[in-house]
Chains A and B, each alone.
Chain A
């Protein structure tokens, strides 16, 4: 790897402990905490970030395994699952063939786990926690105790989601999709209640995190760290937190109302006159007490879940912006427009939720309004894409592993953003809503987008987090296979979606001859998905191995400008910065600046002082 050793001195990294010792002096006197306080009930934002990271990586595999159950059934319909996955499924749910119950459970839990247990905790919980204080020059988050709580609230959520899969066997598990629309979710087995409570707790965790990020960013920036000198990652976390703070309570309410309907018969969402039961002789008139509105749930759900898709992508956009600038050795093109477009996405993000409900029985006039706002939300995404491209233009591009993933992000996000335009067009959406086209869109933005960004971020900040490099040969291999297998799996979904193959359907081939003809495509997707899944083992091996055996990293291996690299060792100690908080003199993107000979210029380097002198004050 072309990672030059850090000439840390003039970057202010090797800060002498002499001057200004009064500033946060207390921090140096911390004695080493015990195992429990250090690794479990830690209040240090870095440890909490790592906890989020490791947990969400574990859940990535649970979610991935569930996805493979779904793909298996679609590629090899009604054949028993082979291999260890098959044995596992048999041990857990008593069947090797994927019947309707197992299938519905699998895609429901796949999406729920990936969204609530992987992408949000990883992008916001892990990177937000780890990077925010380091990047703005704070010693920790504003509320360290709340921070620890926000991590530990995820555990009951995880346990509830896990329990929900087993409590009533396959037929009692949540099987109403990650959207959990009533009345289906109202009529579902006990697992659904656990699911709702799990989602509620995950939401509570998000809210605690959001409060913390907002307070930290507003009040704890280092001297000189003006808002418009913050790295894009911090901007993204900041705006994401505002979204999370305003939107998450709404899904919390929706889940509580649903649970009340299920447990206490409150009928928020259940209209009068429901008739349920497949055997008319046994159960002729099962009627709910009534008075509720089915669509109300959808409004509440999407009022959160549309902003949530931006919660899942904005931090990725921020990290990718930083990584692209670093490895192009160029300032990010149009810093302010980039910030404003994140703001624009967030603002518009609150008035587009109805695009998930175009065909749900909403007034078509209202649909038109949502169509207009949805079309407009593609604009900030377009602006960002052009700015990323222009950042590459006349750069000096280094193809490191994180850079490859960042470029992959841009390339894949464009596909996901453009497919959004098809769905935003209400008449086209009438055909492709609830088909595999939507599934393709979701995965281009969430896998090709969010997860690629997370991979980029892990390869990029790993040296900071653990003081060691990951293995980059394995990294390139991981990227190459992931990129190809990802497209092999998900691109084809656009085509079968346009062809009318609907989603969430266990055995369409037996019931719809026009879908039977798409079996070969589905088989290709399944095989790619299996490759994609197993390739991730490479990544996990790399992470675990590098934590202990990786090449030791210097303070600033990528010659980056922002404070986590220029002012804190790898890994940073408790309190992050030694006795003195660094002072910030400029924005984070002064790469290849004519002011200095090197092609980077740390945020905390005081040009008034001769190079080599201690920086920062």
Chain B
């Protein structure tokens, strides 16, 4: 091998080692993700980087190898291609090696997936219970109130604002009222569709106060201070889907207790978190349905899709005035 090729090879190796070392030190060394704000997020990031390394090395290997072949074996006068139909040994190698890697990856991630989606926080973990409703195009959050029971008179409601205490698991039930939505917390790497007809059990473990969120950069390069984490609707849900944002405030235990009592909570950034409301203060028919969700099976109104009002297939349906 020529000395230049050797030098190249060594410098590549050193570059890879340096990169590996930086990876080991921070959970998102290349800043690929939104800032992490939950225990789960760091584990997901770690897995992503592992896959990134494996696929990245494969990718570079394949592309470099291809370019090398293209250069080395370009058509030259008088040189005839090698007549070969294959080679059993190398084919075994490149079947078994990727198979082993893929099986390893599959097994390696199972534990994390189980923790994320099948082992909900235990009773001793002081989890916060909340019920999340999604409808076109907003999020609504219901807390059980002082009696710790849902669907009772002391439940409290909060619109477009989810408030949770830091370092407590959030144990939530996810419901959709009209179409599919998806509850997405980029900072927690959390996502679960809210599906009409299903009651999803979800949880995540916020470990960072939202007031401590690092400033963002605007598209013009200015610093933007944001004191909440984003709640995103990640599943297309209609014409205003893009507007279906909500705010997640991760606050201290004290602030959370105050907020639940209905007192005003002002964050260090000056933001006043909107106060929750009590069930009995809710007026609109929507809120009525929400507060009596358990009884909805008794509602007998059968209506066609909007555009089909008064069609031949719904003789009993009088239609609503428009």
A residues at B contact (CB < 8 Å): 99-101, 104, 168, 171-172, 175-177, 181, 183-184, 186-187, 189-190, 262-265, 270-278, 280-289, 292-295, 328-331, 333-337, 359-361, 364-365, 367-368, 371-372, 375-376, 378-379, 382-383, 385-387, 389-390, 392-399, 407, 410-411, 414-415, 418-419, 421-422, 425-428, 430-431, 433-435, 495, 498-500, 502, 504-514, 516-520, 589, 591-594, 599
A428 touches B51 (CB 8 A): yes
B91 touches A334 (CB 8 A): yes
Q: Return A428 CB to nearest CB of chain B, in Å.
A: 5
A361 touches B200 (CB 8 A): yes
Judge whether B48 is part of the interface by a CB distance below 8 angstroms: yes
Given contacts A382-B98, A519-B219, contact A434 B184 (CB under 8 A): yes
Judge whether B257 is part of the interface by a CB distance below 8 angstroms: no
Q: Return A372 CB to nearest CB of chain B, in Å.
A: 5
Contact bitstring B79-92, A, C-beta under 8 A = 1, else 0: 11111111100110
Judge whether B177 is part of the interface by a CB distance below 8 angstroms: yes
Give residues of chain B (264-307) contacting chain A, Cβ–Cβ below 8 Å: 284-286, 289, 296-297, 299, 301-307
Q: From A101, A277, A500, give the contact of B239 (CB < 8 A).
A: A101
A382 touches B94 (CB 8 A): yes
A435 to B234, CA, bound (A): 8
Give every chain A residue within 8 A of B103 (Cβ-Cβ).
375-376
A378 to B306, CA, bound (A): 44
* 10 closest Cβ pairs, A-B complex: A271-B197, A500-B186, A519-B219, A364-B117, A284-B285, A334-B86, A394-B82, A100-B239, A431-B189, A418-B55
Judge whether B32 is part of the interface by a CB distance below 8 angstroms: yes
Give every chain B residue within 8 A of A263 (Cβ-Cβ).
308, 313
A184 touches B179 (CB 8 A): yes
A415 to B60, CA, bound (A): 10
A430 touches B307 (CB 8 A): no
Name A494's closest neighbour in chain B (CB-CB): B32
Give every chain A residue within 8 A of B196 (Cβ-Cβ).
183, 270-271, 273-274, 294
Q: From B33, B177, B235, give the contact of A431 (CB < 8 A).
A: B33
A406 to B108, CA, bound (A): 35
B residues at A contact (CB < 8 Å): 32-34, 43-44, 47-48, 51-52, 54-55, 58-59, 62-63, 65-66, 69-70, 73-76, 79-87, 90-91, 94-95, 98-99, 102-103, 105-106, 109-110, 112-114, 116-118, 135-137, 177-180, 182, 184, 186, 189-193, 195-198, 200, 216-219, 224, 226, 230, 232, 234-243, 245, 284-286, 289, 296-297, 299, 301-308, 313-314, 320-322
Q: Return B181 CB to nearest CB of chain A, in Å.
A: 10
A505 touches B241 (CB 8 A): yes
A512 to B235, CA, bound (A): 15
A392 touches B69 (CB 8 A): yes
Q: Can you report 6 A-B residue pairs in the complex whose CB atoms are below 8 A from each other?
A: A187-B305, A286-B301, A331-B85, A372-B106, A427-B44, A505-B242
B193 touches A517 (CB 8 A): no
A495 touches B62 (CB 8 A): no
Give every chain B residue within 8 A of A387 (Cβ-Cβ).
86, 91
B230 touches A514 (CB 8 A): yes
A394 to B189, CA, bound (A): 46
Name B305's closest neighbour in chain A (CB-CB): A187
Give every chain B residue within 8 A of A334 (Cβ-Cβ).
85-86, 91
Q: Return A430 CB to nearest CB of chain B, in Å.
A: 5
Given contacts A378-B102, A592-B82, contact A100 B301 (CB under 8 A): no
Known: A273-B297, A425-B48. 20 other contacts (CB 8 A): A104-B236, A262-B305, A263-B308, A271-B197, A292-B197, A336-B86, A368-B113, A371-B110, A376-B106, A389-B69, A395-B81, A425-B109, A428-B51, A430-B189, A499-B34, A500-B34, A504-B241, A505-B241, A517-B224, A594-B83
Number of A-B contacts (CB under 8 A): 356
Q: Return A530 CB to nearest CB of chain B, in Å.
A: 19
A392 to B80, CA, bound (A): 13
A390 touches B90 (CB 8 A): yes
Give every chain A residue within 8 A of B80 (Cβ-Cβ).
329, 396, 592, 599
Give every chain A residue within 8 A of B308 (Cβ-Cβ).
262-263
A222 to B160, CA, bound (A): 69
Interface centre among A168, A505, A599 (most CB of B within 10 A): A505
Give every chain A residue within 8 A of B218 (Cβ-Cβ).
513, 516-517
Give every chain A residue within 8 A of B182 (Cβ-Cβ).
359, 434
A281 touches B34 (CB 8 A): no
B302 touches A289 (CB 8 A): yes
Given contacts A364-B117, A397-B74, A430-B189, contact A275 B303 (CB under 8 A): no
B232 touches A335 (CB 8 A): no
A328 touches B81 (CB 8 A): yes
A394 touches B73 (CB 8 A): yes
Give every chain A residue within 8 A of B84 (Cβ-Cβ).
330-331, 333, 394
B83 touches A425 (CB 8 A): no
Give every chain B residue within 8 A of A375 (Cβ-Cβ).
102-103, 105-106
A507 touches B242 (CB 8 A): yes
Give every chain A residue within 8 A of B34 (Cβ-Cβ).
499-500, 514
Given contacts A330-B81, A371-B109, contact A392 B70 (CB under 8 A): yes
Give every chain B residue within 8 A of A509 (Cβ-Cβ).
219
Q: Return B301 CB to nearest CB of chain A, in Å.
A: 5
Interface centre among B85, B136, B230, B304 (most CB of A within 10 A): B85
A494 to B201, CA, bound (A): 30
Q: From A189, A427, A517, A593, give the contact of B116 (CB < 8 A).
A: A427
A591 touches B81 (CB 8 A): yes
A385 to B91, CA, bound (A): 11
